[in-house]
A and B are shown apart, each in its own frame.
Chain A
Amino acid sequence: MTERQAYVVDLPEDESYSGSAKGEPGKSFERIWDAPQGVRHLSSVSHRVVGKRFLVTGFVFFLIAGFLALLVRTQLIVPDNTFLDSETYNQVFTMHGTIMMFLFAIPMLEGFAVHLIPLMVGARDLVFPRLGAFGYYCYLFGGIIVLSSFLFDAAPAGGWFMYVPLSTSTYTQDLSADFWLIGITFAEIASVTAAVEIIAAILCTRAPGMSLAKMPILMWYLLVTAFMIAVGFPPLIIGSILLEAERLLGLPFFEVALGGDPLLWQHLFWLFGHPEVYIIFLPAAGMVATMLPTFVGKPLFGYGFAVAAVVSMGFLSFGLWAHHMFATGLPVMSLTLFSAASTMVAIPTGVQIFCFLATLAEGRPRMSVPMLFILGFLFIFVLGGLTGVMVAAVPFNLQAHDSYFVVAHLHYVLIGGFVFPMFGALYYWMPQFTGRMMSETLGRWVFWLMFIGFNLAFFMMHLTGLRGMPRRIASYPEGLGWDRLNMLSTLGSYILAAGVLLFVFDFFRHRRHGTQAPRNPWGAATLEWLYPPIPPGFNFHAIPEIRSREPLWDQPELMDRPAPEIDGALRPCTDHRRETMGNDPITGAPLQIVRLPHPTWVPLITAFGLALGFGATLASLYWLVAVGFAIALAGFTAWVWEPSDSGVLRDSGLGDLRLPVNVVDPRSHLHFAVVGTMMISAALFASLLFAGLYLWNTQPHWAETTPPAAPLEAGLALGVSIVVFLLGLASHRAAFTAKVTPVIVIDLGLALGSAALGALLFMSIRTVDPYGSAYAAVGWALFAFVAGYLAVAIYWSLVNALRKAVGAVKPGQMLPNLLIATYAKVVAIMGGMTAAAYLLAGGAA
């Protein structure tokens, strides 16, 4: 990272060029942070509001999917049952899996992340509040689209894995698969935006002095999870887009007759699907690692071990995707590679589990309800982990795969590894949300009902599976040895459900009758308990300096006085803006003051525009699609067109230290957001390249017979991509200069270069018929992908130029040039690689 001195104007604070164009001078600090009331509550962007929305919506989806699970179990209670017909049953189990994986687990962990990160790292809000709100609305609308399929009697029935060809239009003629593909892809926007936000929030907005090594351990878990989402979700997003393009436009990506391959879908799906399990598990394990020390009264044993374990797990979990494909006839050598890699995950998992056990051994743990759930987690998850090692053994997998053994295993891992810790976390952090404690007595009942019900329901399934019962069957004949086991499983599921219902009851009970939570009710060590529950909307009057990993235990000045009086950064609120501290990502040293947006309708409107666009696609109302996306585009424009705050120095409240506002620096939170976004983009692009390479390798005949793209244009495109890259470098330099107007030339150059690159790539691929083969279609998909990114580059650099031309940019405010520089460099590489692919791929003309 080349670091240059940022261009900053040191102006007195009453100067009009203050960068506080959107401040609310008439309001006090507290009023500025007030959540808007009434219907305007929907315009709130506060992480506390958004986080709670994620949690509540996610939990509602949990209850819906749980209800569907009960339908499944009720159907299977006796052989040859006619409670549900096959079609309904298929819809029910498809939606159960879909909702649990996409609309419950991921959003729930996002909810915890969004709510807890700022409180735990010492920030007043999440770093990109509007993005958080936007992500939530995308999730909500996407979820509604998926659920609404029940109303149209077109609920997806192809399994949550949507295998082709069953999900292609030949075998699924109604809209059910489209509801799934469009709704889920839309909801995934929330996941990837959350990834960007989590990365930037954890790395860039910590309290002064909170170095990487002093972060609460949950932050490491969430950081790794966010990186995993950024790399893990793109394969599915690409797969879904390709499949929807096949269904909607007839492009033959998976069409066997034209050189497509059903296994390509499975690769893309499980490239996402396996890391997904760890994406769900890691934050839950992080919450365990946070709660455990509280109940033991001692710090986590082996923080460093845990960090190593989490980081390596984040990587290793990507090397296992094909263990869902052991029965597809892959070469034995590939199977063994994935088998070996799969079992390797046992090492970091073991390290983690033993860190937890060692922590438990440090003192006598208090057996509160969250602690019970932690012990339940250890018991269930370890069992699930051991059966996981079993299914990683290929020969055993060939029997167990797609049988109830796997159903048992995955529920042990997911319910043990996510649901139990999550319930513990809900009990633990509930005072943060409601200010009251939930019942210890009822909590014990909830735990034991869930624990006993769960084990009864799912332990039996190991045996049911080995006795030969396949998954996803709506009925089974009598007498094969499955009858009694299924009966027991169903009874267990009812007991489990009773536990969940009791929790819901206690939730409503405690909101009225629960005891008021005192300050730091559990005696925790982490910063979110600094204020008495419920913390104020701004989290911290002043952001304290952090000198310990357990600040509430080791820094007496934090707990010996009322929270509002604690010293720290940013107590002065000179510009009447929402703001928080920005830090060096590694050392935690103060770097900048981050200005945060006030309540706004833009996220809701933008998400609504997208929802309209996606919904209208389902209804084939293409004019409405255009309207929807126009609204979204207008929303994004309003989003970026706000006056810049950067370029001035302000008092930080830490001694005499003056800090720049929204610093122009590669360590800026915005730059981290762009880097995160480009990581996601690179993963998307890599997924497409993988698709092309995969088809090239496995379908050589089609690769030979597909005509090549025009080489001259491709060669020129390669040249132009280098020019765009160089312009990116120039834009990076320009961001640090004082003169604004000359930079317009670079902006316009970027727009022009991007346009030329797009045009040349089009000229090159123009001669290839996208309907001719799957291979050709992937070539076009590469073009469409890069073209989309180039269009954004053009639009963005034109906006930058226009803002400069109309005088909206003052010296020291050229952060966007730094941001687009990184963007343009990555896009140039992707364009160049596409051009190179066009040059190299394709057979004889």
Chain B
Amino acid sequence: MSGTSQSALGEFGVQSALAPEGAGATAINGLTIGMTIAFGVIFVLLVLFAWAVLAGRLAPRRWWIWAGGIALPLVSVLALVVVSTGILQKITREEPDALVIEVTGKQFWWDVLYDPEGWALRDANEIVIPKGRPVTFRLKSDNVIHSFWVPKLTGKMDMIPGRVNTLPVLATETGRFRGQCAEFCGLSHPKMAFEVVVLEPAEFDAWMQRNSGEARDAARSELLRGRDVFVEAGCPACHTIRGVADGGTLGPDLTRVGGRGSLGAGMWRMNQGTLAGWIADPSAMKPGAEMPSYNHLPGPDLRALSAYLASLK
């Protein structure tokens, strides 16, 4: 369980393309470093050249135009296109036996469906993948355009209504990597993040086994009360907790909500307190969220409900 409980929120470099932990991001980072060095050298040479010109040390020559205008751009650009096309082919290649994970962008969260043709395990806002095993993200949207971006794993890919885009990923390290919506999608666009948890393959298989069943039973009386509140307050109209209330699809699946590292699509640490705050007034935490405020719940009910949700791991 070690990997899934503690959020990577606010951890330096956890969303950095310069510290890659995936095959795609590593390849791109190599290109980034190569281009930075090459263009850095070109820029410095140009500045030195301009400096010499300003100092009056060079007389203008026709071949400058040939060298600087044709040869230099042509050589660097051709090299670049060839190299980058090679990398592009590599990072967009889909493995036929890859694990398919379907992610649908919502305003402003992520609906996740593991292996839609097989397990069909639904979850939200946190994606667990195995290390070293190819994964293909199938990206969709049924509202506005979003963009799926986990800089440490690979480049971004848009989620466009009416289209299905795919994004191959191969994680090379275990850990928690933050991702974020990269296409402006409305009011709470900045609060549409998520986390990808990379587990060892065996751990991942165990995780899938464990989570494909029904939600964990409520053990204590407060939690039982919380479960009743969940049903009575009408939450199942939008949310699913497998084994308790099925069918709600407007909001995130809550079957393992307490097990997620963060709340509100990668925004706040997951605990009973933040959960209660969220239920009481979602739009204060995330303007434009579709969920109505449940401020009218009596205090004990709210506590019970949030405790129950936090217990769902």
Contact = CB atoms under 8 A, between A and B. Distances in A.
Q: Is chain A's interface secondary structure helix, strand, loop, or mixed overall?
A: helix
Given A402-B182, A472-B189, A360 B32 contact: no
A474 interface: yes
A481 B161 contact: no
Residue from the set B25, B64, B165 with the largest chain A CB neighbour count within 10 Å: B64
Contacts of A668: none
Contacts of B85: 336, 339, 394
B250 interface: no
Given A390-B39, A396-B84, A402 B183 contact: yes
A327 B155 contact: yes
Residue from the set A347, A375, A468, A480 with the largest chain B CB neighbour count within 10 Å: A468
Interface stretch (A351-359, A638-646, A651-659): A351-359
A254 to B, nearest CB: 10
Interface string A323-341: 0000111001001100110
Interface in A333-376: 335-336, 339-340, 343-344, 346-355, 357-362, 364-365, 375
Given A336-B88, A479-B11, A480-B178, A473 B16 contact: no
A479 B163 CA distance: 35
Contacts of B152: 468
Given A346-B77, A393-B31, A472-B184, A329 B165 contact: yes
B53 A86 contact: no
Interface stretch (B141-149, B236-244, B271-279, B298-306): B141-149
| Range class of the A interface residue count | 35 or more
B294 to A, nearest CB: 22
A471 B189 CA distance: 10
Given A86-B288, A336-B85, A343-B77, A398 B156 contact: yes
B13 interface: yes
A330 to B, nearest CB: 10
A335 B88 contact: yes
Given A256-B161, A339-B84, A382-B43, A395 B155 contact: yes
Interface in A252-273: 256, 260-263
Nearest to A357: B53
Contact of A344 (B54, B58, B77, B92): B77
Contact of B184 (A163, A343, A467): A163
Contact of A347 (B18, B36, B74): B74
Nearest to B54: A360
B116 interface: no
Interface string B149-182: 1011011111011110110000000000010111
B70 interface: yes
Nearest to A470: B182
B190 interface: yes
Contacts of A375: 50, 54
Given A361-B53, A471-B184, A351 B81 contact: no
Contacts of A389: 35, 39, 76-77, 80
Interface in A109-167: 157-159, 163, 165-166
B59 interface: yes
Interface in B57-100: 58-62, 64-65, 67-70, 72-74, 76-77, 80-81, 83-85, 87-89, 91-92
Interface string A293-333: 00000000110010001000000000000000001110010
A350 to B, nearest CB: 4
B17 interface: yes
Contacts of A700: none
B190 A394 contact: no
Contacts of A390: 32, 35-36, 39
Nearest to B8: A480
B185 interface: yes
A623 interface: no
B9 interface: yes
A684 to B, nearest CB: 26
Contact of A262 (B62, B76, B145, B147): B145
Contact of A365 (B54, B84, B161): B54
A347 B67 CA distance: 11
Contact of B157 (A327, A352, A378): A327
B54 A399 contact: no
B80 A361 contact: no
B158 A480 contact: no
B50 A357 contact: yes
A327 B147 CA distance: 8
Contact of B81 (A86, A340, A347): A340
A681 interface: no
Contact of B156 (A261, A399, A467, A469): A399
Given A344-B77, A351-B65, A393-B84, A165 B267 contact: no
Contacts of A353: 68-69
Nearest to B72: A350
A26 B65 CA distance: 58
A497 to B, nearest CB: 24
B206 interface: no
B157 A87 contact: no
A166 B80 contact: no
B106 to A, nearest CB: 12
Nearest to A403: B182
Given A305-B65, A360-B50, A476-B190, A468 B16 contact: yes
Given A165-B145, A347-B74, A466 B160 contact: no
A719 to B, nearest CB: 39
A386 interface: yes
Contacts of B18: 466-467
A347 B73 contact: yes
A389 B49 CA distance: 21
A393 B155 CA distance: 12
A307 to B, nearest CB: 13
Given A346-B77, A399-B155, A481-B12, A474 B69 contact: no
A479 B39 CA distance: 30
Interface in B23-64: 25, 27-28, 31-32, 35-36, 39, 42-43, 46-47, 49-50, 53-54, 56, 58-62, 64
B125 interface: no
A175 B253 CA distance: 34
Contacts of B187: 86-87, 90, 157
Given A336-B81, A361-B58, A364-B56, A302 B65 contact: yes
A73 to B, nearest CB: 15
A379 interface: yes
Contact of B149 (A171, A350, A358, A470): A470
A383 interface: yes
B15 A468 contact: yes
B215 to A, nearest CB: 29
27 contacts: A87-B187, A90-B186, A90-B187, A165-B145, A261-B162, A305-B69, A343-B80, A347-B77, A350-B72, A351-B65, A351-B69, A353-B69, A357-B49, A378-B50, A386-B42, A390-B36, A399-B156, A401-B182, A403-B182, A468-B149, A468-B152, A470-B149, A470-B181, A470-B182, A473-B190, A479-B11, A481-B16
* List of 4 A-B pairs having minimum Cβ-Cβ separation, nearest first: A398-B155, A351-B69, A473-B190, A468-B15
Given A336-B88, A355-B69, A386-B42, 6 more contacts: A329-B158, A395-B28, A396-B35, A396-B84, A473-B189, A475-B191
